[in-house]
Amino acid sequence: RRRHMVKLAAALPGPREELPGIGLAHKFIGDTEAIMHQLQHFSYECMENDGVLRGWLGNTLFFVVVNPGDLEMVLKTCLEKDDLHRFIRTVIGNGGIFAPVSIWRRRRKILVPAFSPKVVENFVHVFAEQSDKLVKQLSRCSGKGKFQAWPFLSTYTLDSVCETAIGVKINAQENPDSPFLRAMCDILNMICKRIFHLWLQPDWLFKILPMYKKHQECIHTMHNFTDRVIESKREELKREKESKPEVDHEFDLGAYKKQTFLDLLIHLSGGERGYSNVELREEVLTLTIAGTDTSAVAIGFTLQLLGKYPEIQDKVYQELCEVFEDDRMLVKEDLMKLKYLERVVKESLRLFPPVPLIIRKVLEDITLPSGRVLPAGSGVACSIWGVHRDPRYWGPDAERFDPDRFLPERFNLEHACSYMPFSNGPRNCIGYQYALMSIKTALSTILRKYRVIMDTEESPYPYIRVKIDIMMKAVDGYELRLERRERDHHI
């Protein structure tokens, strides 16, 4: 099988920097900014090689793919996640996102109705309340020069996810030192180090390092917190059932409109005979991890882009003035009206996708629509960063920040996979509508109150230094300045 793999690999172009024996491993020893830079570099090299590039990492064979036709096939047929994801399983076990396909199928089926638009739009009031808190927190920094927006944005998304997923107000925005938040940040950082630093990968070695103790403490904190919430929810449901035995407990989405994901998962999986407490914890933690940093990153990049291009920010503000005639809280009907803001967010997700690449495993040889063959046993890195910036599909000004490319009359992509910040196919992001609502609510609330100021970008091609930290994040922690809008109480 290995000989077969080597033979097929040799038929495809590889990067110039490959060394015998170690392949490209020497290219990934730098910090997370250097690693992201390499990944971008391979994506561009991949574009030059007709959309597919191979590379060895030690003994493991990987392919980078940016051809949208090929990507569609990979995302449809290769559903198994790469082994690198095993490090995150120490926290979320078999939670949907990285679970083996055999477990994932059932869990996805249960999760789909919980994310139906009818359920998700009922969370908008949570996003609006949390955005209001965010704006209050930001007032401490407005008019006081540059500051890092990241701690404000990530606590906004964590508070929103915790309230909608488990119904608990953890108040991370007011208490950024909360043990759960600290544990989540620390564990994600350690997992990222393990993914990219080969020497931290063997379990036996990792267990004797000082980092291991902290790793276990973080897991304990996160599991303990979630377990307590689940136990109290079980008791609440039991009490409810005892007090109203005559009520029909059959599941009805309409009746559960105001419920959290935890309520929905208990009911959709079959109530007392459904998910065990461990399965519930795995699913809840998956949603927390999948939904927190991703949306915060998207808000951060969009704010920085608007700071760099004030004329685009003015247009967003204009639209906000038209939709909000006074200083009221956002309601779900407003979101549909914010069409320009939506184009801005989509364009920001195109140039700065929070998940810049997805890695899947090839279990059987596959022949791609472009004719290339990926051998069984290899890994495929689907480069979202690459496909979003390929001039072949986005034109010669592919790297220009131009929200109007999403105008219905201009947006006519040949391939669905040319734009896929939320991935594509059966394992795509289940939370994309939730994410867009949360992002638009936060941005519209911030931008009604404040003007974002950055050094304006002379070039139409925005440059932001980025690193890979599970998600792709700005190196500077989303540094910007805020200035209060003069007519803040009456827009």
Element spanning 127, H or E: helix 124-138
In the complex with ligand HEM, the residue whose CB is nearer, 100 or 395, is 100
Of 372, 352, 473, the residue nearest 71 (C-alpha): 372
Q: Considering the rule CB under 6 A, would residue 421 count as an interface residue with ligand HEM? A: yes
Q: How far is the CB of 79 from ligand HEM (least distance, A)?
A: 8
Rounded to whole angstroms, the Cα distance separating 91 from 95 reads 9
**CA dist 388 to 82, 215, 392, Å?**
22, 35, 10
Which one of the spans 125-133, 141-149, 284-292, 315-323 is the region binding ligand HEM (CB under 6 A)? 284-292
Strand partners, 382: 65, 358
Closest distance to ligand HEM from the beta carbon of 421 (Å): 5
Q: Are 359 and 379 in contact (CB under 8 A)?
A: yes
- Site track for ligand HEM across 354-373, x = CB under 6 A: xx--x---------------
Question: With respect to ligand HEM, which residue has the nearer C-beta, 8 or 111?
Answer: 111
Nearest approach in angstroms of CB 351 to ligand HEM is 13
Q: Specify the stretch interacting with ligand HEM by CB under 6 A; choose among 128-136, 220-228, 274-282, 421-429.
A: 421-429
How many helices (H) and strands (E) the chain has is answered by 19, 11
Distances from the Cα of 96 to the Cαs of 89, 281, 386, 396, 426, in angstroms? 10, 11, 26, 39, 12
Residue (167 or 421) nearer to ligand HEM, CB: 421
Which of left, alpha, beta for 308 (phi over 0: left; psi -120 to 50: alpha)?
alpha
Report the alpha-carbon angle 386-392-398, nearest 5: 65
Among 307, 379, 386, 431, binds ligand HEM (CB under 6 A): 431
Is the Cβ of residue 42 or residue 434 nearer to ligand HEM in the bound state? 434
The interface region with ligand HEM, picked from 57-65, 201-209, 210-218, 423-431 by CB under 6 A, is: 423-431
Q: List the beta bridge partners of residue 374.
A: 366
How far is the CA of 20 from the CAs of 13, 25, 30, 42, 376, in angstroms? Answer: 15, 11, 20, 18, 22
What is the rounded distance in angstroms from the CA atom of residue 385 to the CA atom of residue 58? 24
Note whether 221 binds ligand HEM by CB under 6 A: no
Angstrom distance (rounded) from CA 116 to CA 139: 35
383 in Cβ contact with 356 (< 8 Å) = yes
Closest residue to bound ligand HEM by CB: 431
Among 45-53, 205-213, 352-360, 450-458, which window interacts with ligand HEM (CB under 6 A)? 352-360
Subset of residues 34 to 73 that bind ligand HEM, contact rule: CB under 6 A: none
Tell me how far apart the alpha carbons of residues 331 and 128 are, in angstroms, rounded to a whole number: 7
Choose which of 94, 295, 383, 418 interacts with ligand HEM (CB under 6 A): 295
Nearest-approach distance from CB 51 to ligand HEM, in angstroms:
18
Q: Which helix (H) or strand (E) holds 466?
A: strand 466-469
* Three-state SS at 93: coil
- Looking only at the bridges linking them, the beta strands covering 147-148 and 60-65 are unpaired
The token duo for 310 is 């004030």
- By rule CB under 6 A, what string of x and - marks binding of each residue 85-104 to ligand HEM? -----------xx-------
* 246 Cβ neighbours under 8 A, 6+ residues apart: none
Compute the distance between CA of residue 7 and CA of residue 3 in angstroms, rounded to an integer: 6
> Among residues 52, 287, 306, 380, which is the contact residue for ligand HEM, using CB under 6 A?
287
| Binding-site size, ligand HEM (CB under 6 A) | 24
Smaller CB separation from ligand HEM, 323 or 435:
435
Closest contact distance (angstroms) between CB of 98 and ligand HEM is 7
Residue 160 binds ligand HEM (CB under 6 A): no
Listed in sequence order, the DSSP H helices in 208-253 are 211-243
Among positions 229, 398, 430, 468, the unique one binding ligand HEM when judged by CB under 6 A: 430
Name which position in 147, 324, 394, 422 contacts ligand HEM (CB under 6 A): 422
Q: Stretches 194-202, 268-276, 290-298, 404-412: which one binds ligand HEM (CB under 6 A)? A: 290-298
Binding site for ligand HEM (CB under 6 A): 96-97, 108, 161, 286-287, 290-291, 294-295, 298, 354-355, 358, 421-423, 427-431, 434-435
